[in-house]
Structure formats: structure tokens, C-alpha cells
Structure 1
Amino acid sequence: MLNARIKLRHLQAFLEVARHRSFARAADRLAITQPGMSKTIKELEEILGTALFERTSRGVALTQAGLTLLRHAGPAIRALEEGVNALGEVRTTIRWLRVGALSTVESRLLPEAIRRWQQAEAVEAGVNVVTGPSAFLLSRLRRGELDLVVGRMTEAREIRDLAFEHLYYERLILVVRVGHPLAEDEPLEAHRLEGYPWVLPPPQTTLRQQVDSFCVRHSLRPPGRQLETLSLPLSHRYTLASDAVWVAPEEAVRDALDEGRLCELSLPLEQQGGSVGLCTNTSMEPSLALEDFCETLRKVAADMAAAAT
């Protein structure tokens, strides 16, 4: 049974501090003073008999107890908000899914799955898609702010207590514009890459870990001219207009490769590739809409795999 001394304000304050990693920013978000925020968190910690946060050089961080509470408090508050909103919802025929998408699935898997799912739905169905790095998306999933995260995540330490379902493997590949000086080098010697700009995933992302491993294997130092981004349109345009070497998810550039606008270099960055799949929060009860959408994703992934063989 929930301790009667724990109030909604305690949990709201806890979630805001966990989200912003700052008492000051959390206080601003809830329109209370910073001393008031500190007092509320202290009350919650005294009720629970454990510390929820610890101070670091970059603000505050969750303790293990704080992580455990976050896993359950976020979905619980979200469920309560949805229940209250449902009471006043006028458009009762509209269902919404909140999906986090990594760049590995933005070009083919996710658009096709959304198209099929909305076509098959008997009622109006909306999908809200949030993009970003895995750490950001998985933290939102853990707090109950997303229903699902789709992408390449199996090596992300942030998964921890979330559930991951494998769909297929996808490689990171090195691509350049047609006519690039390296395009005809076969085999391509790794040190030749150092003379050209690189387009890379940002640091602290799952994809960047693979790039760093590749550099270690080949004793490479990335050049000073780098573009770090997860934006596929920006990467694509920059690569087409320059001599840059783009470290790209194969799915993201498949159409450009097939149409002859980009070409893959002969040096493999990885052989099998990483596992692309679905990540869900097991502490949240899945809706029928979410289960249907996940099944659609599985079918689209199977069709993509069959087409590739």
C-alpha cells in the first residue's frame, strides 16, 4: 500500500528534478522556489528512508534508489494524467501513440510501419514521433513519456531494466558522393580516410561507439574537419556537396545507393551490424494500439529482410 504521507507534489517534484538534473530548473518548471523544491525532495527522501539524488560536478544524479523509483513513478504519473485527460476528451475516436525513433529507422522501417498501421486501423489513429539519441529517448520511455522506442540500441547501457526485442541487423557503412576520389579505391586502405572530412554520429551515442572501435582497429585519428549530427537530411546534402565520408546507417542511404547518388566505399566499418528492434517499458501496461503497432513493425521488418535476400 502506498504510504499516505507521499503526496502528488512529492512525485511531481521528484520527476522534474530527475528530468532536468537540477533543483533550480525543476523549481522553475513547477513555479516554486528552489528552497521549496529542496524541502519537498527532502520530505520524500525522509518518508522513503533513502537518498534519491546525489550532487555531482554537473548538477545532481539519481542514486540507485532514485532510478528504481523513477522506473515506476514516471509511468504511474503518466497513467494518472491520461486518466484525467480521458474524462474530458471530446475526440474519443482518436488514439495516439508516442514513438521514439533513432536515425537508423527514420528512412524506411518507421514510415512504412506507420503507413500500414494507419491504413489498417478502423478508427482515426495518430502517431507522435520524437527523434534523438538513444539515451534521451530511453530516459523518456522509462519516465512513461513514450510508449515505444525503435532503433539500434542493443549496446546502449541506458536500456538496463527496459525490454528490447530484436527485429533485424543493420550495418553502418562508409558512403561518399559519386565521383569521390576514394570511390574507385578497391581495396581501400584505411589511412586514406584521414585526408577527407567525416560525417559522424555525435559522441556518447551507440553508433559513435562503433566508429570509435573502427578507428582503434585501423589505428586511425579522425580528421579535424568533422560534422557531428544525427540529422539525415543534413548529412545527405553535405555529403553530396563535398568530399566528405559519411558514416551512415545502411537503411538511411539505401535509396540513394540504388539511385546512384551515393556509393559505398569498399572498406567495411562493421560486418554483421547492430541489432535494430523495439524497446518498451515493462512497468507500463501496453495498449491494444501499441500491440497492433508493434506487430506491424515486425511484419515490415520481415518484409525488408525478405527483400534484401
Structure 2
Amino acid sequence: MNLDNRIKFRHLACFLEVARQRSFAKAADAVAVSQPAISKTLKELEEILGARLFERSKAGAELTEAGVTFLRYAGPCVQALRDGVNTLRGHEAQVETVRVGVLSTVESLVVPEVIRRLHRRHGALVVSVATGPSAYLLAQLKVGELDLVVGRMTDSPDIQGLTFEHLYSESMMLVVRPGHPLLAAPLGDLQRLAEFPLVLPLAGTTIRRHADSLFVQWGIPLAGQRLETLSPTLSRSYV
């Protein structure tokens, strides 16, 4: 089947921006057009495709099942076109760029060595690394803003249509500062954890769900006084 020649680049660019921003208003600001213009362009695309791409609500715009399917193809398509234009214009024609998304909590595990190896093999290579929460990185990956993401497996619907490769395994452990009272407690006396402030990953993240399940397994209530963060620097400073 031939591509419908009614589909223009502006339709795809508009669709990707709304998918990225999850908001018609924010997408309009990002591309410097009016919100009615964004809505009109998306309506045209939906009519051409014969499918509803977004569910609109006061909270924003969420992709429908058809929208998720279309996103898998539209993102790489637009990015390939941009790369082709830049190459023909001579923009960084001799330099390749790899855009990598990395969870801030795992960026120091495997990424530095991988980048060193890539630079040894490729004389002209720019590795652009973006950090952020998993949902943000996966959204950027789907719209073609990132080439790959290094993170944790999740059961989120955001992973639909993506390909995964196992890189490493993590262990979860308890860490305390030197001289902490728990160091003098009997090994395995985990009930005392409830007596002290805790540093935990943000609620709703994959690693936090694993941590919560361990606390339930051990029968330990979460301390009422705790810090929730994904920042390794803040965590170390607080401990």
C-alpha cells in the first residue's frame, strides 16, 4: 500500500510533540503555534488515518492504543528524515551522534565503560547522555529523541513495542553511616529499621516497588520519617 500523500511532515511533527508533552497547550508553546492550530492539525491526521490518536481530558492528552502503535513508526521516521537532511547539508556529516537515556541511579554502573569502549572503536563519535526518570526516558525513546535507554525493567505499559537486552543485575542492600547504632545490633535484627529515618527511592518507581515488597516480606513497617529521592548525591550526603 502506498503512503497517503495527504500526510505531511507537519502532521507527524505535531503528533510527536503532543505525544512528548502529553498536552496540546504545551505542544503549541513548544512549536510556537496556537493551540487551535495544533488541534486542527491532529484532527486532520486522525481523519486521514481513520483512527483516534489521543484521549483528551483536563489533565492533558494520552495516547490511545492506535496512537501508541503509530508512535512506534512516526518517531523513527521523522528522526531518519532529519538525519538525512542534516547529512546532505553537511551538518556534522563526519561525526556520528548516539543519544542515550540513563537512569540517574544507574549511570555510574556500566555507562562510563561503554562510552570509553565506543570512543576507542570510533574516532569521531559524540555520545549525548540524558538522565531522568524511567517514564520520561521511555517517552523520549518512543518519539525518536533518544536512540536507546539504560535502565530497569518495568511492567509499565510504556514498554510496549520496545526491544530489550539484559546488561546487568543489581542487588539491594542496606547502607548506614560509620558509627550508626544498627552496626552494633545483632545481624538480622531488621525490625530495628523502623526506629530510624530511611532513604528510599521515589514511590511508584520500579526499584521502590522491589524495596516495598522486601519490607512486607520482612514484616517491617516503613518509618514515618524518611527521605524519598532518586539522587545518589543527596542520598549519600543525607546518610
**Could you say whether these structures have the same fold, taking a TM-score greater than 0.5 normalized by the shorter chain as the test?**
yes
**Aligned residue number for residue 46 of structure 1:** 47
Distance 1:29 1:49 in 2: 26
Whether 1:61 aligns to 2:62 is yes
1:177-210: CA deviation from partner (whole Å, max 9, x where unpaired): 1211112323333331122222121122111111
**Aligned residue number for residue 226 of structure 2:** 226
**Aligned residue number for residue 125 of structure 1:** 125
| 53 and 40 in structure 1: CA distance in 2 versus 1, 3 angstrom threshold | same
Relative to the length of structure 1, the TM-score reads: 0.72
**Aligned residue number for residue 171 of structure 1:** 171
User: Offset at 1:225?
Assistant: 2.5
Q: Is the 8 A contact 1:104 1:152 kept in 2?
A: no
Letter in 1 for 2:179: G
Letter in 1 for 2:213: S
Distance 1:117 1:182 in 2: 43
Within 5 A, what are the aligned runs for 1:89-168? 89-121=90-122, 123-168=123-168
Distance 2:91 2:45 in 1: 36
Question: How many residues align structurally?
Answer: 238
User: Offset at 1:138?
Assistant: 1.4
1:245-285: CA deviation from partner (whole Å, max 9, x where unpaired): xxxxxxxxxxxxxxxxxxxxxxxxxxxxxxxxxxxxxxxxx
Within 5 A, what are the aligned runs for 1:254-269? none
Distance 2:91 2:84 in 1: 13
User: Offset at 1:168?
Assistant: 2.8
User: Offset at 1:175?
Assistant: 0.8
Q: Is the 8 A contact 2:86 2:92 kept in 1?
A: no
Q: Could you list the structure 1 runs, at least 4 aligned residues long, displaced by more than 6 angstroms after superposition.
A: none
Higher relative contact order (CA 8 A, sep 6+): 1
Whether 1:27 aligns to 2:28 is yes
1:99-145: CA deviation from partner (whole Å, max 9, x where unpaired): 11124532231111212221232x22221111112221112111111
Structure 1 stretches lacking a partner, 5+ long: 240-309
1:40-79: CA deviation from partner (whole Å, max 9, x where unpaired): 1111111111111112452121100000111110111111
Letter in 1 for 2:182: L
Distance 2:47 2:124 in 1: 47
Letter in 1 for 2:44: E
RMSD over aligned Cα, in angstroms? 1.8
Distance 1:16 1:46 in 2: 18
| 93 and 25 in structure 1: CA distance in 2 versus 1, 3 angstrom threshold | same
**Aligned residue number for residue 37 of structure 2:** 36
| 120 and 10 in structure 1: CA distance in 2 versus 1, 3 angstrom threshold | closer
Relative to the length of structure 2, the TM-score reads: 0.91
User: Offset at 1:157?
Assistant: 4.2
Secondary structure at the aligned position of 1:99 is classed as: strand
Distance 2:214 2:59 in 1: 30
Distance 2:92 2:20 in 1: 30
Whether 1:4 aligns to 2:5 is yes
Distance 2:126 2:186 in 1: 47
Structure holding more strand per residue: 1
Distance 2:83 2:194 in 1: 52
**Amino-acid identity (%):** 53
Secondary structure at the aligned position of 2:164 is classed as: strand
Structure 2 stretches lacking a partner, 5+ long: none
User: Offset at 1:32?
Assistant: 1.3
